[in-house]
Structure 1
Amino acid sequence: MEDILETKPLREKIADRIRADIIKGVYKDGERLIEPKLAENLGISRTPVREALRQLENEGFIEIIPRKGAVVKRMTLDDVDNLYMIKANLEGLAARQAIKYISDNDIKEMERLNERFLLLAKRDEDVVEEYLKYNVDFHNVFIQLSKNDKLIEILEGLSKNFQRIKGMLISKSERALKAYNEHLEIIKAFQSRDPNKAEMKVRWHIENSWQYIKERMLSDGN
């Protein structure tokens, strides 16, 4: 794995590092990312840091303000609404298309991945990193099975922003049990081999997550 990572351009490695820190809350909304300080901390020149910041600006994680520099972009309720609307529609489409290709072994893999959420639900501690990873793994089973390269590409791009949203607001195990139960409904829909049910259950699950995130943002004063 390390050899594969080493083939990444330095700009992407730096962007990955800063993005992960934003997702984990190391850098807060509105916080300045000072280019010379980042370069010094990473032990590199400022040029690849500047390139990484431009990449993160394009991804929507930061904004570069004249005479102020790079700051972590605030995620508004409108941003969340728009992203979840896109996600619900596109993942619903992916689920519908995956019905043509999904096998019993694929469904068993979804069941295996979903069991991880049940384990998370029993833990009284910060589970955000594991939650995010397991959630991506579960959804990727049917997204990849859509066999729609353009759809997969778009959803992969959106995934980074969703990790940030959930990373900000899901820190305890409370959502894990709900996700587990909702995933069971998705699995049943795929077992039925009914494209309408699969699409409906995936959209329902994402809309539930959407509502949960909105309630958390409103309660936190966002």
Structure 2
Amino acid sequence: MGRKPIDDREPLRDFVAKAIKKAIVTGRLKPGQRLVEERLADELGVSRNPVREAIRALASEGLIDVAPRRGARVTLLSRQEALEMIEVRAALEGLNAKLAARHRPEHLIEQLKAVLADGRSRAARGSGTPRDFVNLNAKYHDLLAQAGTNSALRDVMRIMRERTASVFAPLSLKRAVENWEEHAAILQAVIAGDEELAELLASRHVLNTGEAAAQAPHETSEPPRSDDDQPAQTKRRKVRAPTRV
């Protein structure tokens, strides 16, 4: 995850939770991967208490599973759980795109155009890392969610995106061209004010990616219980920074 400056105004639990959540959503922490409190604390430059609190908070959001005598692991969705969440997310994304086509806030449309141009260019050239595409994809969907101008819907969508991130992130590079062409079609419908088409395309976009995920190899067995389950970055020897409690 890498050590980041700590904002003194932000509770440590929230700082740690955001760092772990970002690592999960971007695919740096894999489904089923064990989370070792001591290593996370060392990497983030904090004590183990805020790490423990952050893990409990993320467990309540469904991103982490905590089991007696087994510790904490990144949630590993079953195929059925993933399909059910994808269906819900498809419906939500469709509704949001419909609202975005109705409101069409100009400042957000311009930002969406810029992100779209970047994503399509990278996809066409075959440049960029999986993390680049994950981040660009998240930015596109965040802006589109804002364009829907419905804060309640945006909050629910954020939860569903986080819960399905482990399904979609591995396809961010493999499906880059298709993703960004579908993004372009959605935005075109939004700009045209075609609510029905925007809803259809946004919903279909999620379902298309879900179908691609269903055809990909699926991890059905639990990863080995090893202290080496942590990200590669945590295995490097580091100079310990002063620990903040």
TM-score tier after normalising by the smaller chain length: 0.7 to 0.9
Give the number of equivalent residue pairs.
217
- The TM-score normalised by the length of structure 2 is 0.76
| Higher RCO, 1 vs 2 (CA within 8 Å, ≥6 residues apart) | 2
Letter in 2 for 1:69: G
Letter in 2 for 1:166: F
CA contact (8 A) 2:6 2:15 kept: no
CA contact (8 A) 1:117 1:179 kept: no
- 1:170 and 2:209 aligned: no
The alpha-carbon distance between structure 1 residues 210 and 46, as it changes in their structure 2 partners (threshold 3 A), is same
Match of 1:204 in 2: 204
Which structure 2 residue ranges, 5 or more long, are not aligned? 221-245
CA contact (8 A) 2:31 2:166 kept: no
Percent identity, please. 28
Match of 2:179 in 1: 179
Q: 1:67 and 1:14 mapped to 2: Cα distance?
A: 23
Which structure 1 residue ranges, 5 or more long, are not aligned? none
Letter in 2 for 1:170: L
Q: 2:196 and 2:187 mapped to 1: Cα distance?
A: 13
Letter in 2 for 1:117: G
Q: 2:32 and 2:99 mapped to 1: Cα distance?
A: 40
2:36 paired residue among 18, 34, 56: 34
Q: 2:41 and 2:131 mapped to 1: Cα distance?
A: 26
The alpha-carbon distance between structure 1 residues 80 and 148, as it changes in their structure 2 partners (threshold 3 A), is same
**Whose helix fraction is larger, Structure 1's or Structure 2's?**
1
CA contact (8 A) 1:126 1:171 kept: no
- The TM-score normalised by the length of structure 1 is 0.83
Q: 1:26 and 1:103 mapped to 2: Cα distance?
A: 34
1:20-64 deviations in Å (ceiling 9; x for gaps): 333455544433323344334444332211101101211222211
Structure 1 residue 131: Cα displacement: 1.1
The CA RMSD over aligned residues, in Å, is 2.6
Structure 1 residue 5: Cα displacement: 4.8
